[in-house]
Amino acid sequence: MNMLGLFFSLLAIIGWSAYPTLVSYFGGKPVQGIFGATWGTFIVAIVLSLVMQMPMLQGANFWLAFFSGAAWAFGNVLTIMAFGMKDQDGNVLGSAKAMPISTAFQITANVVWGVIMLGNWGPVSSKVYGFIAVVVILVGAYMTTYQEKKSAGNMQLLMKAVGVLLIAQVGYSLYGILPQYTHGTDGMHMFLAQAMGMAAFGLILGIYEVAKNHNNIFQQSTTYKQIFSGFFFAMAALGYLVSAQPAMLGLATGFVLSQVSIVGATISGILVMHTKKTNKEWLVIAIGLILIVIAAAVTAFLKN
């Protein structure tokens, strides 16, 4: 077991536990959430690079990291849109429901790519246990969306959100996959280039919002509050980028472990946004979260 890889994976868990709830809490439009997240990450990346005196990546390595960051920003703006989607009665979907769905899609895509294309979980036994763990995680993620009283509006909203999150998955997949094809570098050195890609996308999106909708987000305090949420995302992005490297835990294990953050994101999303849950709903959600933690822990012991 790679203890350093596990440490960085823990950073990802903490960061991604807090990030979606903070985005929902600060509110504003999706473009403000994405600007705050990307520029918060960029600020952290600059400080880290200066303190550690890390040189900028060159050539293909730079562009692979840069476009992986831009791809994440594309996926995240759609995910934030899903957070704010409402049903016909005006009920907001929220991060507590959207994140488990997004997590399920991301785990499936990244594990399949990591195992089939990158050779993670080499032994047959590791593949079997790994895929069983993934199925258990998907079941757990589904359980966290449980509602005792369902309505047509609830289901319609959930289906719309699934469509948006499937498109977002394209960006998230490229975010995890592209850095795997760099050579002679590591996650720490890729972080600044990746953050530049994120920040560039966030800035372009902000300028587009001003030009098209005449909504100057750069004069609104919510935009800059969202930068605080970006600091937590920066912690998660760095932790995941390092832990998912082949010399650490690999893409499959690194990503699955990072998604234990769904536990913190779900609970904090319910509590901070004051979402009412019945005792039965809390029970089903708790069982789902326990399944996720146990199954993710299994992947930490799989051989590559």
Domain ranges within the chain, ordered by starting residue: 3-300
Q: What is the mean pLDDT of residues 112-134?
A: 79
Indicate whether 151 pLDDT > 90.
no
| 84 neighbors 161 (Cβ within 8 angstroms) | no
Indicate whether 59 pLDDT > 90.
yes
Identify the band that residue 188 occupies on the pLDDT scale cut at 50, 70 and 90: confident
Query: What number of other Cβ atoms are within 10 A of residue 86's Cβ?
Result: 12
Indicate whether 181 pLDDT > 80.
yes
Which range is least confidently modeled, 45-49, 158-162, 280-284? 158-162
Q: How far is CA 148 from CA 98, 152, 270, 272, in A?
A: 17, 13, 15, 21
Identify the band that residue 201 occupies on the pLDDT scale cut at 50, 70 and 90: very high
Indicate whether 178 pLDDT > 80.
yes
Could you give the angle at the alpha carbon of 260 between the alpha carbons of 160 and 100, nearest 5°? 10
* Residue 203 vs residue 121, higher pLDDT: 203
- Note the pLDDT of residue 15: 86
| 22 neighbors 225 (Cβ within 8 angstroms) | no
Ranked by mean pLDDT, the top range of 138-147, 150-159, 170-179, 191-200 is 191-200
Q: What is the mean pLDDT of residues 237-257?
A: 77
Residue with tokens 């970006």: 230
Indicate whether 153 pLDDT > 60.
no
- Note the pLDDT of residue 274: 65
Q: Of 244, 234, 198, which is closest to residue 72 (Cα–Cα)?
A: 198
Q: What is the mean pLDDT of residues 221-235?
A: 90
Identify the band that residue 4 occupies on the pLDDT scale cut at 50, 70 and 90: confident
- Note the pLDDT of residue 113: 76
Residues of the chain with pLDDT > 90, as a percent, come to: 19
Residue 73 makes CB contacts below 8 A (sequence gap 6+) with 34, 37, 38, 171, 197, 198, 201, 202, 205
Indicate whether 1 pLDDT > 60.
no
